[in-house]
Amino acid sequence: MEQIRCGWCSASDLYKKYHDEEWGVPVYDDPTLFEFLILETFQAGLSWITILNKRENFRAAFDHFDYKKIANYSEDKIEELLQNTGIIRNKLKVKSAVSNAQAFMKIQDEFGSFSDYIWKFTNGKPINNNPKSLKDVPATTPLSDEISKDLKKRGFKFVGSTVIYAHMQATGMVNDHIEDCWKRAQ
């Protein structure tokens, strides 16, 4: 008998793997938090499966999400990325990856780590929302509004409340696995 999962991930094996192994698992290390932040910003206006299908292309194109390298990308590197058919070739999103890497490092300087900064919004612990079904899972919350506003104030781009809430879900800041999902109890 197959395990019950959140309904959004049933479309493909890649989605199921992501759901089972990553989504909602608390992430406290800066490199992984940055990777998810970059991927979420590229997702804006697109489906997450589109991003998942291109994730390894993004990893290769963006130096394994090394924010120190990305922060120093030249115009030539940006132009090279805009020619890369394996990623989302949106000029504003590509440029925002560079400025977001720079802003990410400024937060590290101020707070010691991006993890310390972002997790302070939840007192370092995941928020368990206990949704009964997918319709009970919000796209934004007052907390994602607050984090989005703060990140924008710090120079981040493509970090609207919906993007930030998706980032919170992906990195386990919130647990939105539905009641019947086998991951709920974990």
Active site residues: 18, 40, 48
Long-range contacts of 181-186 (CB under 8 A, 24+ apart): 181/4, 181/5, 181/6, 182/3, 182/4, 182/5, 183/5, 183/6, 183/19, 183/20, 183/23, 183/24
Q: Is 154 exposed, middle or buried (0-12, 13-18, 19+ CB in 10 A)?
A: middle
Region at 135 (left for phi over 0; alpha for psi -120 to 50; beta for the rest): alpha
